[in-house]
Structure 1
Amino acid sequence: MPSDYILTLSCEDRPGIVSAVTTELAGIGANIAESNQFWDHATNRFFMRIAMQTQKGTQRDDVERALKPAIERFDMRTSITTTAQKPRVIVMVSKFDHAMRYLLYQIQVGWLEAEVVAIVSNHEDSRRFAEQEGIPYYYWPVNKENKAEQEEKLLGLVQESGADLVVLARYMQVLSDKLSRRLYGKVINIHHSFLPAFKGAKPYHQAHERGVKLIGATAHYVTPDLDEGPIIDQETERVSHAMSVDDFVATGRDIESRVLGRAVRLHLERRVMLNAHKTVVFQQ
């Protein structure tokens, strides 16, 4: 069977990048199934994503060797991943598990290509659901005294399970600066607000008090700066003065689930590229 790979690259923009890359790929008989590119005029950075199908027996190293001249010529940052293996995901959750359940359902029906290798929580609430799904469940309560210890456990679990991504599906704990840096670009959080407004706890209550007419949710990468990581996806929905805080929360649950699901899919399909404090998102 042929092998499928996804190439992502970034470098300083100048003429000849696309030609150099596609010529080398053609040389090993790769067929380009999808190509996206973007030039950030402000930073003069060029971003590209290529999904390709290669000839039978082509290995990842073969693709890397073929691209080496172009990589060195343009000083590219590249990543080559295979689509033959499902990405492995760790989901972290507290008491509200709607976003987690949505992710698992989308995996079940095939919309998300991923394998959840563990569920980590600081509460026991979701254990029964995890056991029903046959997913290992780790109950790690967090307080000031054991926070560092629990985060070391998480790092160990990431390494042991080979997880490609950690998803904070309404995990109501702030990760330390140290952990955020070590897993930079590999942790996605869903914040129940349309950032940058209403950061921190109880954003729906803040929004209700301010009488907003739109509420939303934001999926972003986790950084040491609380709720300020590069944004992957957002969505809003109209609300009114006649709605209660509970109505806001119920509306938000649906938005959160959809936004997180899209963000996780975009990340796993290598459609999100970091661009300083922003992201380049190549939609299908």
Structure 2
Amino acid sequence: MQVKIHKPKDKAEMSELAKTFILTITCPDTFGIVAGVTSFLAEEGAFVNKLEQFGDPQSNRFFMRVKFDAGRALRTKAEFADKFATIAEKFTMQWELHDFHRKPKVLLMVSKFGHCLNDLLHRVASNNVHIEIPAIVSNHEDMRGIVEWYGIPYYHLPVTKETKATQEAKLLDIVDEHDADLVGLARYMQVLSTDLCRELEGRCINIHHSFLPSFKGAKPYHQAHSRGVKLIGATAHYVTADLDEGPIIHQAIEHVDHTMTAEDMVEIGRDIESVVFSRAIQMHCEHRVFRNGSKTVVFRR
């Protein structure tokens, strides 16, 4: 059994108004899981607001997300862990408990194309995405002005073949300094090293300007144009050591036709990328995404 309890970074006790939790569960699929969890919550006086579940017959894995208001005896995460241990052991659960009101911290990385960054900054400032952006890291200076206008620290880490390892070590220091829960590659046009991909496993999301698995690598819209495609798209996925092959979180498409140039497709694609990236970040931070081997299970809103 694996247990992971997410605590607020300042380790402060939760207020009486912050007793709403998200419980996520992954375990072998079998009979009685839903009944066991809901019965436990009911017995503890908790009120279930929403429950989502999926059993995958291929992987024989079960996935569950429960939003609930804590009951009389579930006032802290420690209390929950102590009481939930028996049922977790019974079903060999990997589970996490999250404070619904806490804003996850998402550190963003960007190069010279600012559309995904600008879109997410605006959504956060408008309270449409429930996250905090503590810092932006870039290998160029181009986005400094807009980032600092939002009052967010901007770190310039230029990357060359000779400095790559040093700059990635500095990046990890920045991630730790800001207690970042997630790293978002908002059109960061550098390939991360295998070591860094492994270090950020499961907590780094990339936006690729193509409907993967088609047109991987550089200039995918130009590849698509040369093939005469009628649909283009964008894909947000978890970063792995295999370039553009991590588990897919979210995708979207747009129709194109023979009259459009490759540059037209690039312009259309930027809008798609912005939406897909923001939604993937939001879904991850709302604890709606579950790893399922090389795929994901995503409970949508």
Which whole-Å deviations, capped at 9, do the CAs of 1:246-284 have from their partners, x for residues lacking one? 110100000000101111110000000000100000012
Which whole-Å deviations, capped at 9, do the CAs of 1:115-164 have from their partners, x for residues lacking one? 10000000000001111110000000011111111111111111111111
1:242 matched to which residue of 2?
A: 259
1:19 matched to which residue of 2?
A: 35
Correspondence 1:94 to 2:111: yes
CA contact (8 A) 1:25 1:67 kept: no
Deviation at 1:104, TM superposition (A): 0.8
Tell me which moved more, 267-276 or 108-117. 108-117
Alignment map for 1:1-284 (pairs within 5 Å): 1-2=16-17, 3-55=19-71, 58-284=75-301
Query: How many angstroms apart in 1 are the aligned matches of 2:222 and 2:140?
Result: 23
TM-score, with length taken from structure 2: 0.92
Deviation at 1:217, TM superposition (A): 0.2
Tell me which moved more, 161-170 or 58-67. 58-67
CA contact (8 A) 1:28 1:66 kept: no
SS of aligned partner of 2:135: strand
Which whole-Å deviations, capped at 9, do the CAs of 1:163-182 have from their partners, x for residues lacking one? 11100000001111111111
Query: How many angstroms apart in 2 are the aligned matches of 1:106 and 1:184?
Result: 26
Query: How many angstroms apart in 2 are the aligned matches of 1:83 and 1:16?
Result: 26
Query: How many angstroms apart in 1 are the aligned matches of 2:204 and 2:137?
Result: 14
Supply the AA of the counterpart residue of 2:45.
G
Query: How many angstroms apart in 1 are the aligned matches of 2:39 and 2:71?
Result: 16
TM-score, with length taken from structure 1: 0.98
Query: How many angstroms apart in 2 are the aligned matches of 1:177 and 1:82?
Result: 32
2:9 matched to which residue of 1?
A: none
CA contact (8 A) 1:30 1:53 kept: yes
Which whole-Å deviations, capped at 9, do the CAs of 1:47-86 have from their partners, x for residues lacking one? 0000111147711112212211111111100111112221
SS of aligned partner of 2:192: coil
SS of aligned partner of 2:27: strand
Query: How many angstroms apart in 1 are the aligned matches of 2:148 and 2:183?
Result: 19
CA contact (8 A) 1:25 1:63 kept: no
Query: How many angstroms apart in 2 are the aligned matches of 1:130 and 1:45?
Result: 42
SS of aligned partner of 1:117: coil
Query: How many angstroms apart in 2 are the aligned matches of 1:16 and 1:202?
Result: 49
Query: How many angstroms apart in 2 are the aligned matches of 1:165 and 1:211?
Result: 36
Query: How many angstroms apart in 1 are the aligned matches of 2:117 and 2:44?
Result: 41
Query: How many angstroms apart in 1 are the aligned matches of 2:100 and 2:85?
Result: 21
User: Percent identical across equivalent pairs?
Assistant: 53
- What is the root-mean-square deviation of aligned Cα atoms in Å? 1.1
Deviation at 1:27, TM superposition (A): 2.6
Deviation at 1:28, TM superposition (A): 2.3
Q: After the TM superposition, list the runs of 4 or more consecutive aligned residues in structure 1 that deviate by more than 6 angstroms.
A: none
CA contact (8 A) 1:273 1:279 kept: yes
Query: How many angstroms apart in 1 are the aligned matches of 2:188 and 2:106?
Result: 15
CA contact (8 A) 1:6 1:83 kept: yes
